[in-house]
Amino acid sequence: MGSHEIDFKIMGDDMQIVEIELDPEETVIAEAGAMNYMDSDIQFEAKMGDGSNPSAGFMDKLFGAGQRILTGESLMMTHFTNHGNRKQSVAFAAPYPGKIIPMNLAETGGNILCQKDAFLCAALGTKLSIAFTKRFGAGLFGGEGFILQRLEGDGLAFVQAGGTVIKKRLENQTLKVDTGCIVAFSSGIDYDIQRAGGLKSMVFGGEGLFLATLRGTGVVLLQSLPFSRLADRIIRHAPSHGGHRKGEGSVLGKLGGLLDGDGF
């Protein structure tokens, strides 16, 4: 099944929205809860499957849903279809600060691999499945675990990333990356995990114990602020159980408490 040809525009800076324009009877698929707003003739339906194979039986759809559960996503996908007689729009937003990246799968060899929580939405006809990492080390120590998400098709797919996004083109080259900073990469890239230097560097370097090694020819998308890193920093500085907030330093933290009337 060929993907629907959708038009889009991306709005905003650090909290972006992608607005997708659908012709009559065109459909876009999205993660549950990603929709921001839509025109009156757009109707949505939760379905078990991505709709890339209309003739798929119940067991095939159930197997696909099981794969989504393995990647930590919801059981169902939401299909948004324009049932009107003119162009209509539906918009989707990422759940955290960052960028939305459009990817034309026809220009990346028909498929890409991405982190399991990177997918946002895609034209109907895009197939979503899982891909297991080839090496035990990559699965055990990589930020993505054993499972990556594979997007296949010939249309547009949109992935989300935290912070600033960098697109790199590798020509039979090798790139070492913090495991959490990888957003997506094309199928010509080989993914592996290596130790981050010697024992002293691994323990005291602050860069984690392992780095991802991307090698080959293709496109790599990187993010400057993985959501896990942002969440860890927020949790670290969240109020403690005693109700007192954790400051950046002991003096400033107590001063902030005085200003709020908390006392020492």
Q: What is the pLDDT of residues 162-180, one digit of tens each?
A: 988 999 999 999 999 887 8
CATH class of 7-230: alpha beta
* Domain positions in the chain: 7-230
CA distances from 125 to 50, 128, 155, 188 (A): 8, 10, 8, 22
pTM listed for this prediction: 0.75
**Paired tokens of 159:** 């992935």
Q: What is the distance between the alpha carbons of residues 68 and 77, in angstroms, rounded to a whole number?
A: 9
210 and 240 in contact (C-beta within 8 Å)? no
Q: What is the pLDDT of residues 204-243, one digit of tens each?
A: 544 556 778 899 999 999 998 877 666 667 787 777 555 5
183 and 176 in contact (C-beta within 8 Å)? no
For residue 38, the cross-strand partners are 90
